[in-house]
Amino acid sequence: MTEHRPERYPGYDVLTKRHSPSWNDKTREVIDERLKTPREPRFFNVHELETVRAIAARVTPQPAHRPPIPVAELVDHKLHIDRQDGYRAPDMPREREAWQRGIEALDAESQAAHGRAFRELASAEQDALLRRMEQGELHDSSWGGMPSKTFFNQRLLTDIVDAYWSYPTAWSEMGYGGPASPRGYVRMGYDERDPWEPAQARDDGAAAARRINQRIR
C-alpha cells in the first residue's frame, strides 16, 4: 500500500451515474458484473492467485485509504471465462497457458535467486525480479521458450494495468465517467468539461471541486 495521496476529483463517485442518461442498460450490466467479481480463484489455484496479487501490488500499488481494486481477481476472471485479446506474438502461447507458465517460471527464478517463492519475497526483491523480466534477463527452463520480456509486456503488464483501470474505483480517481453511451461527451477541447463530468481540484483547494462533484449525475 502507498501513502495517502490528495484526491484529484474529490467527492466524485462514478457509480452515482448508474441511473442517469450517462449509462444505458448494457453499461449497467457490465459494471454490475465487474463489481461482483468473485474473490476466490476460479482459474488460478490459491498459490497462483497469491502470486498474481503480489505482482499486482508492485505494478499497480494502491492507496491505503480505500478498499483495494481486486486486480488479481479480475485477471483470474478474464482467464476463467477465457476472454482472449484476439492477437498474440508468434512466440507467445494463448493467455491461459502464458499466465500459468509465467507464474511457474517466475517462482523458479525466485527460488533460484532467493530460495523462496515470489509471493514470499520482500518488495525490493520482487521489484528486482520484475525488472529483470522486463529486460528479458530471466531464462529458466520453465519459461519453455516463451521470452520473459514478451510475457512481461504483452501479458503481465497488459492484463494487470487493464484490470486496474477497468474498475469504477479507478474511474472515480481519474475523473472518468464511464462509457459515453447514450449521452456522449460534447466539450472535447483542452481543459473543457461537460456538466456531467467531474471537476478537478485546483491549487486553491478541493472544496469548490467537491461541491461540484457531489452533484454530478
Would you state the cell numbers that stand for residue 94, as one nine-digit string? 494463448
H/E element, 48: helix 46-59
Tell me the per-residue pLDDT of 123-146, one tens digit each, with 9 for 90 and over.
Answer: 999 999 999 999 999 999 999 999
pLDDT band at 5 (very low <50, low <70, confident <90, very high): low
Q: Rounded to an integer, what distance in angstroms lies between the CA atom of residue 141 and that of residue 44? A: 21
Number of alpha carbons in the 13 Å side-chain half-sphere of residue 144:
14
Residue 199: helix, strand or coil by DSSP? coil
Beta strands in 14-166 (DSSP E): none
Cβ contacts of 51 within 8 Å, gap of 6 or more: 103, 106, 107, 117, 118, 119
| 61 pLDDT higher than 90 | yes
The vertex-153 CA angle with 71 and 148, nearest 5°, equals: 110
Tell me the per-residue pLDDT of 146-184, one tens digit each, with 9 for 90 and over.
Answer: 999 999 999 999 999 999 999 999 999 999 988 877 888
| 83 pLDDT higher than 70 | yes
Single-letter amino acid, residue 57: A
pTM above 0.75, yes or no: yes
Would you state the cell numbers that stand for residue 23, as one nine-digit string? 449509462
Instruction: Tell me what the pLDDT averaged over the chain comes to.
Output: 92
* Site of grid cell 501490488: 57
Q: What is the pLDDT of residue 207?
A: 87
